[in-house]
Structure 1
Amino acid sequence: MTTTRPAGPAAGPRDVVGTGQAACHHGEILQGVFLDERRRACHALVTLPMNGPGARAAFLRRPDDGPDAVSVTPPGRAKARAAALLAVRECAALREEEPCGGELRLSGDIPVGLGMGSSTSDVIATVRAVADSYRLRLAPGTIARLAVRAEGACDPLMLGPGPLLFAQRQGRVLEALGTALPPAVVVGCALGGGAPVDTLSLPARTADDRELARYERLRRMLRTAVADADPALLGRVSTASARLGQRTLHHPEFETLTAIADRTGATGVQIAHSGNVAGLLFDPRTPGLDRRMRRCARALHSDGMTPTVTFTTDASAGPATGLTTDVTTDPAPTSRSEDPSHGRPHLRGRRPTGPDTPRRRPRLPAL
């Protein structure tokens, strides 16, 4: 925990500052409707974790201010402000104190609207910063509960990099699939010209018994892929999930993307089910991998799907890096903190203001 004060108005003698961070992801490997332990159908997903970028938050707690006196910089971050109000009440109750107001400052460079968990990252970083100002560390389950209350649904970014089937509208884990996803190298790209997607405008996904059976089969396949560390089976699952998602997202580039995957020897494709970020998955043991990835990057570029980043599913590997036609698959490794709240962003550029306000078009490092 830290007592470093953010830039801005000077803190008073009783004011306390806390900080927090949160990572992002690169969309989903699997998303759909699944059965929980009571055989009830519920929406759930498995995210594709990514080492960077991230959201950072600093919360200047002012004990003399009322509990609703919370300001946010940049303005318009309504979900983060809601998370701050909830977290203050949670932490104040744990400390047996009266809730108070404060100032929340957010920064980071997660592209917004691409399906990389930008709003959840804001919310998690905010909750961690508020807790830090109370000198508390909240359990991941508590953070998930507050995140769902703040934004209606959340990604499992507070739970670490292990693959989880996570009910995003309930903030709970349906199944821990294992310790790590199978090894894969991901060549990222942006669909739809990189335009943001309004997740709330998408129709709700439904599933009859036949669809439930399909999703449960993919769940079993992913469980096997994780157990066997099988990147080929991982690619089959993610491609099948992305194809099912086409009924909602209707990406015109989908068939072209899968054709590029076939031509370059990728094991499959993955697409954010609430955005325009996508990736092609490669088995790191594939002969001529560097050459295949260069061909992939050129093909994506020529077909208007801007290559963005390359990274691996290995959580201990280096951060996502800007992709060029000279892409390699051996980035310099960096250590990762045991506490996921202390990650650091790795993509350049400033994040535009607020998931709840109009922004400029999001940018990822491009070819």
Structure 2
Amino acid sequence: MQETRFKDSTNGKTNAYSKAGYGLAICHHGEILQGKFYDRDGTLRRGLVTLPCDRYQAGAHFVPDGSGMLTVEPAFKKKALRAVRVTLDHLKELKVGGRLIVDSDIPEGWGLGSSTGDVVAAIMAVADALEIELTEEHVGALAVESETAADSIMFIDRAVLFAQRDGLVIEDFGGQFPSFEVLGFNTEPNSNGVDTLAFEPANYNMHEIDRFVKLRDIMRQAVQLQDAKLLGQVATESSEINQFYLPKLRFDDMQKLAQEIDSVGLQMAHSGTVGGFIFDPGTALLDEKMAEASAKLIEWGFEITCRFQVGESKK
């Protein structure tokens, strides 16, 4: 690729960039935990623990130039374009222009983080093109500034409680997720999904906030002990609380089915239509039980999205 040269906007030096930048982001499959939590200063913040899923991905290429003009392909990826502007602004590269190309297979409206995938990939592509390293925390803050609310898919190997509207980590649980498998499904495959920003955030009461304190403690234990059953407990109870604010079809039936197939937990997207049965990888006859669950879900009119693994057992 021909080398592009332009003036640095802060110190007048001429910089050279000889490559396009590339960024890649995975999707997620809803949340393990979502609610309101106290940070270390006692401030109550909305937060979530995202369920990472690598079955769908968003990729972005950024080709910088000195024009000061930015374009994106396809043109409707406006949040990704805003992410480029926000990132360049924070990097003090105000005169940098360029072309962003986004390619994603993440379905929209299901609660899989399609827009966050675009945004995170774009941020990483800009940083790659300018040969600047950004921390996961920095990427998270930029993503929230770019799209108001963002999932924590930028934290690759860390389980964190992330303030999705404030762009900061409320708690780092000190490790990776325990190993588990998920059978994912869409409860409303023929709907238009949920517009996350148009969806009014849940107005949790103090009883529910107290429950979130306990679930946060259990989530911490799940990571520290690498215990999929504890993680499943957190997901189920969080889904029960949030069912009041965004009801899912046949929720009671899903809970009963979870017990019948020896699932350790039921997780739901708290601003989407997907959900999943969580399994301990060591579950006896796991393939047969997933097949049984799939048949029942299809009978209900649901659609299987994917089967995927999380944690060190991931193949």
- TM-score higher than 0.5: yes
Tell me the distance in 1 between the aligned counterparts of 2:39 and 2:94: 38
CA contact (8 A) 1:33 1:206 kept: no
- For 1:297 and 1:216, the matched residues in 2 are separated by 33
SS in 2 for 1:251: coil
- 1:89 corresponds in structure 2 to 89
Give the corresponding residue for 2:252: 255
Residue of structure 2 equivalent to 1:246: 243
1:165–1:173 Cα contact (<8 Å) kept: yes
Q: Deviations over 1:116-152 (max 9, x none)?
A: 1111111111111112221222222221221111101
The amino acid across from 2:110 in the alignment is: L
Are 1:199 and 2:196 an aligned pair? yes
Please state if 1:180 is matched with 2:176: yes
Q: Answer yes or no: is 1:55 the counterpart of 2:58.
A: yes
Match in the other structure for 2:300: 303
Query: How far does the alpha carbon of each residue in 1:27-55 deviate from its partner, in whole angstroms, 9 at most, with x for none?
Result: 11000001111111100000111223211
Is the CA contact (8 Å cut-off) linking 1:24 and 1:53 kept in structure 2? yes
CA distance, structure 2, for counterparts of residue 229 and residue 22 of structure 1: 25
DSSP-derived class of the 1:200 partner: coil
Answer 1 or 2: higher relative contact order, Cα 8 Å, separation at least 6. 1
Aligned residue number for residue 122 of structure 2? 126
**SS state at 1:84 partner:** helix
1:232-258, CA deviations, whole angstroms, 9 ceiling, x for partnerless residues? 222221011011111111112212221
CA distance in 2 between partners of 1:19 and 1:174 (Å): 29
Aligned to 2:217: 220
Match of 2:140 among 137, 144, 147: 144
Change (3 A) 1:142 1:183: closer
Alpha-carbon shift at residue 13 of structure 1 (Å): 5.2
The 2-side partners of 1:81 and 1:265 are apart by 44
Matched position secondary structure for 2:270: coil
**Structure 1 residue 72 corresponds to structure 2 residue 72:** yes
Provide TM-score, normalisation by structure 1. 0.78
Measured after TM superposition, the shift of residue 98 of structure 1 is 4.8
Unaligned runs of 5+ residues in structure 1 are 6-10, 318-332, 334-367
Are residue 292 (structure 1) and residue 289 (structure 2) matched?
yes
Contact preservation (8 Å) 1:161, 1:315? no
- Mapped to 2, the partners of 1:121 and 1:283 lie a distance apart of 27
Tell me the C-alpha RMSD between the 2 structures: 1.8
Distance 1:45 1:107, change over 3 A: same
> What residue in structure 1 maps to residue 33 of structure 2?
30
Amino acid in the other structure paired with 1:238: A
CA distance in 2, matches of 1:149, 1:279: 29
Q: Give the 3 Å change call, closer, same or farther, for CA 162–84 of structure 1 in structure 2.
A: same
Contact 1:60 1:103 in 2 (8 A): yes
Superposed CA deviations along residues 296-348 of structure 1, whole A, max 9, x for unmatched, are 1111111111122111122562xxxxxxxxxxxxxxx3xxxxxxxxxxxxxxx
Match of 1:101 among 84, 93, 97: 97
Matched letter for residue 164 of structure 2: Q
User: C-alpha displacement at 1:181, in angstroms?
Assistant: 2.0
CA distances 1:57-80 after superposition (whole Å, capped 9, x unpaired):
1111121x13xx211111111211
Identity of aligned residues (%): 37
TM-score where L is the length of structure 2: 0.90
Amino acid at match of 2:96: C
Q: Using the alignment, how far apart are the partners of 2:130 and 2:258 within structure 1?
A: 49
Quote the Cα distance in structure 1 between the aligned partners of 2:265 and 2:94. 52
Superposition map of 1:328-343 within 5 A: 333=315
Distance in 1 (CA, whole Å) between partners of 2:166 and 2:248 is: 28
Distance (Å, rounded) in 1 between the aligned partners of 2:99 and 2:227 = 47
Which whole-Å CA distance do the structure 2 matches of 1:120 and 1:197 have between them?
14
Q: Hey, what's the Cα distance between the residues in 2 that align with 1:129 and 1:250? A: 37
Q: Distance in 2 between matches of 1:13 and 1:211?
A: 55
**Conserved 8 A contact 1:36-1:174:** yes
Counterpart of 2:274, as a letter, is V
